[in-house]
Structure 1
Amino acid sequence: MKTAFKLELEDAKLMIEAAKKKAEEIKVLETIAIVDDGGHLIALERMNGARITGPEIAVAKAFTAAGHKRSTHLFNREPNGPVLPGNEAYGIQLMFPGKFAVFVGGFPVVIDGEVVGGVGISGGNGEQDIAVGKAALDALKSSFASQGYTVETNADIKL
């Protein structure tokens, strides 16, 4: 039998608070979504004044990162080109209409090499979304380090 990690609400809240702190520091209004390994929403927060489109976009980014086990911006670095007509990955976003994102801001949550969820960030430019997402992952890493677990925080993670 295999033992598996599960993200819990307390983990998601920790990540959201760290993400908000970073967003405030870099002066960007973000929506932060945390999903479990099945892409189901655990927690979502839209900062005051953040775009009304943020929740749907952040959830899609988190879903994609968890479900496809890699950061969403990597879809535009495919060996055969970005997700455009005629390229290998084209159409993947059509398999899950409204739920699959192929642009910056979605990151898998990886604990001891296992994808246990995803974090989606929406509201800033690519650089800002990466910084805020990394802050969320860094907070989880700090929390789990004392328990002897490793949390991957590389925004370019590709499994």
Structure 2
Amino acid sequence: MKQALRLELKEAKLMIEAGLAKAREINVPETIAIVDDGGYLIALERMDGARITGPEISIAKAFTAAGHKRSTHLFNTPPNGPALPNNEAYGIQLMFPGKFAVFVGGFPIVVNGEVIGGVGISGGNGEQDIAVGTAALQALKEHLSEAGYEVIAEANIKK
């Protein structure tokens, strides 16, 4: 039997607050979604002025990152991104219509080597979404390191 870590609302809110602070710092209205390891939404925040499409897109990015245990932009990274034409996962986003994202802004939440959820960011360009996602992951890393947990706080996560 395996014991599993679970992401809870307290940690999700901490991550969202850190992401919002970064978004305000870089002056980009973002939407931030946090999901559990099953891809189910724990928390979501859409900043004033953020696009109305942000909630659906950020949830899809978080779902994809958690479910596939990798940052979403790695699906489309040339030349060998698996979702690019003629590669093994080309068209994978069609398997989960509206739920699977293969562009930048989704990151798995990895604690002690296990994916326990995902964070999805929507509203900025790729660089801005990465900055906001990294800030959210870094906040979780700092919070959990006090208790001895190891969190990966980088954008290019491939489990």
Once the two structures are superposed, residues 25-54 of structure 1 have per-residue CA deviations (whole angstroms, 9 ceiling, x without a partner) of: 001000000000000000000000100000
Aligned residue pairs: how many?
Answer: 159
1:111 and 2:111 are equivalent in the alignment: yes
Look up the equivalent residue of 1:141 and give its one-letter code. Answer: K
- 1:8-87 pair list within 5 angstroms: 8-77=8-77, 80-81=80-81, 83-87=83-87
Match of 2:132, SS state, is: helix
| Maintained 8 Å contact 2:93/2:101 | yes
Look up the equivalent residue of 2:54 and give its one-letter code. Answer: G
- Hey, what does 2:143 align to over in structure 1? 143
Once the two structures are superposed, residues 94-130 of structure 1 have per-residue CA deviations (whole angstroms, 9 ceiling, x without a partner) of: 1100000000000000000000000000000000000
Match of 1:88, SS state, is: coil
- Note closer, same or farther for the CA distance 1:30–1:150 as it changes in structure 2 (3 Å cut): same
In structure 1, list runs of 5 or more residues that go unmatched.
Answer: none
Mapped partners of 2:149, 2:111: distance in 1: 7
Deviation of residue 13 (structure 1)? 0.3
Match of 1:66, SS state, is: helix
Deviation of residue 154 (structure 1)? 1.5
In structure 2, list runs of 5 or more residues that go unmatched.
Answer: none
Mapped partners of 2:23, 2:123: distance in 1: 10
- Hey, what does 1:134 align to over in structure 2? 134
Query: Which deviates more from structure 2 when the two are superposed, residues 84-93 or residues 99-108?
Result: 84-93
Q: CA RMSD in A?
A: 1.2
Q: TM-score w.r.t. structure 1 length? A: 0.96
Q: TM-score w.r.t. structure 2 length? A: 0.96
| Maintained 8 Å contact 1:80/1:88 | no
Match of 1:93, SS state, is: helix
- 1:89-108 pair list within 5 angstroms: 89-108=89-108
The percentage of aligned residue pairs carrying the same residue is: 77
- Note closer, same or farther for the CA distance 1:91–1:118 as it changes in structure 2 (3 Å cut): same
| Maintained 8 Å contact 2:75/2:84 | no
